[in-house]
């Protein structure tokens, strides 16, 4: 009964919409690139060096872990490259080589691979790595100290958020939102140009790669809570637009909080998750000890993700 032809047998369905993990990673990289290029334009070769080293070392860390764990080689799917790129984008352009390599080690090895690889990480690997770097190497992630040797033609020579923390809103009130939006502010090499990041984020939303509910809720959370603070005491608290356009707010809303495996998938949980991230960000910035709260806020909402994601619509046909 056996014919000579070998047919392929597999399970249904026999159609697929063609999506895949490599496509997702590479499209996210494409979306992040404009902001990184703006960073290179402002900071020059050192920024390019940080980006290249971060991407390369992230890929090498994953490759080493693949070999060590005797698992299939997964570097081709672009996830490691994406994580490397995002780490570079939140670091200052002056980051020394060892800081970059440690950062990608923390993200790839501690953040993802020891949990079992892609899809198994409970925290956003980039946020985790940067949080560890922020508490371990304070001066290297303090943008004022790190970028002191750069001659930047920006309206303010200091990190707006650090200035706000130290001197109050009066110190930053001469900063024009358009300057902030165009990235003319001291900050991470790829995270300060709000326009480029928002463009990338909108591209990802339209492609259905990130979930718009999370980004929108995060931005709304930042905006509304900052507005409430500002309304209660404009002398001590900066206006909401300032909070939106400085620090890691936009890269957090579009690229960090939306990382799939550490964020919820149901509609209401996504809104809660995003909004809570935004509120935590402003709380840490306004009454916490740290200059920027985005990284810690994202780690916190990663923690509540499994819990909030239990709020889900009732499946059909359930009697109970």
Least distance from other proteins to the Cβ atom of residue 82, Å: 12
CA distance linking residue 55 with residue 14, whole number of Å: 36
Phi, psi of 5 (to 5 degrees): -85, 135
| Residue 7 binds to other proteins (criterion: CB under 8 A) | yes
Q: Which stretch binds other proteins (CB under 8 A): 10-18, 127-135, 168-176, 177-185?
A: 10-18
Rg of the chain over all Cα atoms, to the nearest angstrom:
21
CA distance linking residue 198 with residue 296, whole number of Å: 21
Least distance from other proteins to the Cβ atom of residue 10, Å: 5
Residue 9 vs 235, nearer CB to other proteins: 9
Three-state SS for 132-169 is HHHHHCHHHHCHHHHCCCCCCCCCCCCCHHHHHHHHCH
How many CA atoms, within 13 angstroms, populate the side-chain half-sphere of residue 256? 37
Look at the chain and count its residues.
320
| Residue 3 binds to other proteins (criterion: CB under 8 A) | yes
- Of 85, 111, 110, which is closest to residue 100 (Cα–Cα)? 85
Query: Exactly one of 155, 207, 224, 268 binds other proteins (CB under 8 A); which one?
Result: 207
Query: Exactly one of 108, 118, 181, 291 binds other proteins (CB under 8 A); which one?
Result: 118
Residue 8 vs 235, nearer CB to other proteins: 8
CA distance linking residue 278 with residue 80, whole number of Å: 27
Q: Which stretch binds other proteins (CB under 8 A): 145-153, 176-184, 200-208, 274-282?
A: 200-208
Q: Which helix (H) or strand (E) holds 52?
A: helix 45-68
Report the site for other proteins in 161-180 (rule: CB under 8 A).
none
| Residue 149 binds to other proteins (criterion: CB under 8 A) | no
| Residue 6 binds to other proteins (criterion: CB under 8 A) | yes
155, with CB counted inside 10 A (0-12, 13-18, 19+), is middle
Total residues binding other proteins (CB under 8 A): 49
Q: Which stretch binds other proteins (CB under 8 A): 36-44, 113-121, 167-175, 245-253?
A: 113-121
Please give the DSSP secondary-structure letter assigned to residue 20. Answer: -
Q: Which stretch binds other proteins (CB under 8 A): 18-26, 56-64, 186-194, 291-299?
A: 18-26
| Residue 70 binds to other proteins (criterion: CB under 8 A) | no
- Of 169, 266, 260, 259, which is closest to residue 213 (Cα–Cα)? 266
| Residue 320 binds to other proteins (criterion: CB under 8 A) | no
Least distance from other proteins to the Cβ atom of residue 250, Å: 20
| Residue 307 binds to other proteins (criterion: CB under 8 A) | no
What does the binding site for other proteins look like in residue numbers (CB under 8 A)? 1-3, 5-21, 24, 72, 77, 116-120, 205-209, 211-212, 260-263, 265-266, 312-319
């Amino acid at each position: 009964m056996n014919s000579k032809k070998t047919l392929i047998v597999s399970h249904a369905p026999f159609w697929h919409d063609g999506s895949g993990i490599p496509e997702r990673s590479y499209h996210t990289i494409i979306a992040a690139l404009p902001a990184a290029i703006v960073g290179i334009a402002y900071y020059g070769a050192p920024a390019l060096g940080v980006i290249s080293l971060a991407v390369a070392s992230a890929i090498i860390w994953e490759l080493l872990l693949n070999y060590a764990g005797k698992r299939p080689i997964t570097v081709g799917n672009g996830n490691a490259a994406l994580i490397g790129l995002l780490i570079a984008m939140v670091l200052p352009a002056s980051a020394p080589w060892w800081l970059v390599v440690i950062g990608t080690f923390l993200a790839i090895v501690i953040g993802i691979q020891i949990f079992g690889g892609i899809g198994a990480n409970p925290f956003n690997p980039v946020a985790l790595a940067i949080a560890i770097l922020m508490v371990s190497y304070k001066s290297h992630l303090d943008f004022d100290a790190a970028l002191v040797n750069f001659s930047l033609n920006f309206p303010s020579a200091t990190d707006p958020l650090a200035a706000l923390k130290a001197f109050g809103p009066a110190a930053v009130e001469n900063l024009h939102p358009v300057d902030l939006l165009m990235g003319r502010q001291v900050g991470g090499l790829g995270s300060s140009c709000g326009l480029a990041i928002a463009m990338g984020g909108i591209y990802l939303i339209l492609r259905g790669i990130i979930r718009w509910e999370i980004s929108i809720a995060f931005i709304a959370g930042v905006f509304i809570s900052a507005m409430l603070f500002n309304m209660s005491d404009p002398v001590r608290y900066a206006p909401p637009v300032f909070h939106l356009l400085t620090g890691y707010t936009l890269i957090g809303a579009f690229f960090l909080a939306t990382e799939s495996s550490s964020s919820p998938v149901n509609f209401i949980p996504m809104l809660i998750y995003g909004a809570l991230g935004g509120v935590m960000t402003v709380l840490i910035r306004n009454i916490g000890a740290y200059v920027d709260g985005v990284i810690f806020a994202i780690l916190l909402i990663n923690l509540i993700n499994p819990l909030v994601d239990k709020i889900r619509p009732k499946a059909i046909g359930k009697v109970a």
